[in-house]
C-alpha cells in the first residue's frame, strides 16, 4: 500500500467498525432479542434460536478479532506523525493481509478430538463477509420469531382482557361464574406462544375461539345484570304479553265457534290454549332460586314462547275466518259458472243441472264440507267449459 492508501484504508475501516458496532448494539437492545436471551424455549423455536445463538457467538468472535486488528493498526499509525517504511509494511499486512485470527470454537467433550483445533486466518474483507452472514442468520431468526409473536401476543392480550372483563361482570352480578377452564386454556396457550411461537400454528384458532367464548360469556353476564336491574319491568312486560296471548286465544275460540256451525272442521281445528303452561312457567320463574344467568335464559325463553303463542292464536283466528271467505268465494264461482252455462246454452242440460245442484247443496248446507264443495264446483266448471251446442 502507498502511504495515502494506508491512511485512507485505516480511516475507512475505523468508520466501518463504528457502523458495525452500532448495528450490534441495536441487535443487543432489540426487544425480541432481550426476551429470547432469558426465555425458556422449546420445540422448533428452541432449535431455531440455538442456530441463531451459534451465529451470534461466531459474530462476536469475528468482531473481537476484527476490532483487535484495527486497534493494532491504529497503535502503529500513532507511533509517529509520518509513516515510515516498517510502519507502512506493518499496516499493509494488517489492513490487506490475512491478519484476523479466528480461533476454533470450544466444543463439548463428545464433539472433540485429540488433534489440535483448527484456526483460520482471514482478511478484513473476508471477516466482514463472515460477520454479515452471521448477522443475517441471527436477524432472520429474530424476524421470524418476532413476526409470530406480533401476530399471537395481541390475541393473548385480548383473551386476557376478555377473561378479566368476565370476572369483573361476575363480581358485579354477585354470583359465582365458572371460568376455570378458560383460565387454564389461557395459561396453556400463553405458555405455548412464549415458549415455542414457531410451533404454535394451532394456537391462533384456539385463541380466537377462546376470545369468542369469553365474549359470549360477557354478553350473557351483561344481559343477566340488565335482567337483575330491570326484572320488575321485564315481568310486567311479560304479563302484558300473556294478556295479549289470552286475548288472541279468546278471539281464536270465538272464531272457531262462529265458523264451526258454517264450515265442517276436523277435531284438531279446535284451538288449544298455551296459557296454562305459560302462567305456570312465569309462576315458577318468580320463585326460582336459580342464578341470574339461568333466570335470564328462562325469562328470554318465556318471552319468546309468549310471542309465538300470540302469533299462533292470531293466525288460527285468521285462518278460521278465511274458511268462511273461501266458502263465499266458491258460491260466487258457482254463480259465475251458471251464468256461463246460460250463455253457452247448457243451463238446462240434465248432466250440468245435476252437477250444479250437487255443488249448490254442498255450499248452502251448514256445516259446509269445503273439500267436497270445491271438488263439486270444479266438476261443474269443467262440464260447462267442455260443453256447448
CA atoms within 13 A on the CB side of 236: 3
**pLDDT of amino acid 388:** 43
Cell digits of residue 64 = 473481537
Is the pLDDT assigned to residue 6 strictly greater than 80?
yes
- If DSSP codes are grouped into helix, strand and coil, which group holds residue 100? strand
Span 337-348, average pLDDT = 89
CB 40 within 8 A of CB 190: no
Per-residue pLDDT of 144-170, as tens digits, reads 999 999 999 999 999 999 999 999 998
Query: What is the model's pTM?
Result: 0.55
Q: Report the alpha-carbon distance of residue 205 to residue 372 in Å, rounded.
A: 62
Is the pLDDT assigned to residue 389 strictly greater than 50?
no
Per-residue pLDDT of 232-252, as tens digits, reads 788 889 999 999 999 999 999
Least confident of 2-16, 80-94, 157-171: 80-94
Alpha-carbon torsion 114, 115, 119, 120, what sign? negative
Q: Kindly indicate the confidence band of residue 188, based on its pLDDT and cuts at 50, 70 and 90.
A: very high
**pLDDT of amino acid 368:** 94
Is the pLDDT assigned to residue 106 strictly greater than 70?
no
Q: Kindly indicate the confidence band of residue 182, based on its pLDDT and cuts at 50, 70 and 90.
A: very high
Q: Report the alpha-carbon distance of residue 257 to residue 320 in Å, rounded.
A: 10
Domain boundaries, the chain: 3-145, 158-226, 230-322, 324-386
- If DSSP codes are grouped into helix, strand and coil, which group holds residue 338? helix
- If DSSP codes are grouped into helix, strand and coil, which group holds residue 97? coil
CB 316 within 8 A of CB 257: no
Q: Which residue has the higher pLDDT, 335 or 108?
A: 335
CB 152 within 8 A of CB 189: no
Helices (H), the chain: 3-29, 31-38, 43-77, 85-96, 124-173, 180-195, 203-260, 275-286, 292-343, 350-363, 370-386
Is the pLDDT assigned to residue 321 strictly greater than 80?
yes
Amino acid at each position: 500500500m502507498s502511504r495515502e492508501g494506508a491512511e485512507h484504508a485505516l480511516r475507512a475501516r475505523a468508520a466501518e467498525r463504528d457502523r458495525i458496532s452500532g448495528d450490534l448494539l441495536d441487535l443487543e437492545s432489540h426487544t425480541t432479542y432481550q426476551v429470547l436471551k432469558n426465555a425458556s424455549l422449546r420445540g422448533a423455536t428452541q432449535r431455531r434460536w440455538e442456530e441463531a445463538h451459534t451465529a451470534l457467538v461466531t459474530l462476536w468472535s469475528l468482531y473481537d478479532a476484527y476490532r483487535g486488528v484495527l486497534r493494532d493498526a491504529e497503535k502503529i499509525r500513532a507511533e509517529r506523525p509520518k509513516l515510515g517504511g516498517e510502519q507502512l509494511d506493518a499496516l499493509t499486512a494488517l489492513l490487506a493481509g490475512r491478519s484476523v485470527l479466528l480461533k476454533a470454537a470450544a466444543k463439548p467433550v463428545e464433539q472433540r478430538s485429540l488433534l489440535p483445533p483448527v484456526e483460520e486466518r482471514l482478511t478484513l474483507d473476508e471477516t466482514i463477509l463472515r460477520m454479515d452472514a452471521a448477522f443475517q442468520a441471527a436477524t432472520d431468526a429474530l424476524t421470524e420469531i418476532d413476526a409470530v409473536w406480533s401476530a399471537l401476543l395481541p390475541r393473548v392480550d385480548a383473551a386476557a382482557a376478555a377473561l378479566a372483563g368476565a370476572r369483573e361482570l361476575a363480581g358485579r352480578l354477585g354470583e359465582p361464574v365458572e371460568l376455570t377452564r378458560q383460565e387454564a386454556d389461557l395459561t396453556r396457550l400463553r405458555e405455548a406462544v412464549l415458549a415455542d411461537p414457531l410451533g404454535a400454528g394451532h394456537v391462533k384458532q384456539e385463541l380466537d375461539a377462546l376470545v369468542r367464548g369469553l365474549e359470549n360469556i360477557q354478553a350473557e353476564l351483561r344481559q343477566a345484570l340488565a335482567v337483575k336491574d330491570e326484572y320488575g319491568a321485564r315481568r310486567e312486560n311479560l304479563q302484558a304479553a300473556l294478556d295479549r296471548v289470552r286475548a288472541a286465544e279468546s278471539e281464536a275460540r270465538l272464531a272457531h265457534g262462529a265458523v264451526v256451525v258454517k264450515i265442517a272442521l276436523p277435531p284438531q281445528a279446535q284451538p288449544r290454549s298455551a296459557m296454562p303452561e305459560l302462567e305456570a312457567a312465569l309462576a315458577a320463574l318468580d320463585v326460582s332460586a336459580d342464578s341470574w344467568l339461568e333466570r335470564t335464559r328462562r325469562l328470554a325463553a318465556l318471552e319468546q314462547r309468549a310471542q309465538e303463542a300470540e302469533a299462533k292464536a292470531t293466525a288460527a283466528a285468521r285462518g278460521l275466518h278465511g274458511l268462511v271467505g273461501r266458502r263465499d268465494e266458491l258460491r260466487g264461482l258457482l254463480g259465475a259458472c251458471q251464468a256461463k252455462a246460460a250463455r253457452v246454452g247448457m243451463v238446462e242440460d240434465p248432466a250440468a243441472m245435476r252437477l250444479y245442484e250437487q255443488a249448490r247443496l254442498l255450499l248452502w248446507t251448514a256445516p259446509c264440507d269445503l273439500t267436497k264443495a270445491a271438488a263439486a264446483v270444479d266438476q261443474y266448471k269443467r262440464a260447462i267449459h267442455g260443453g256447448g251446442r
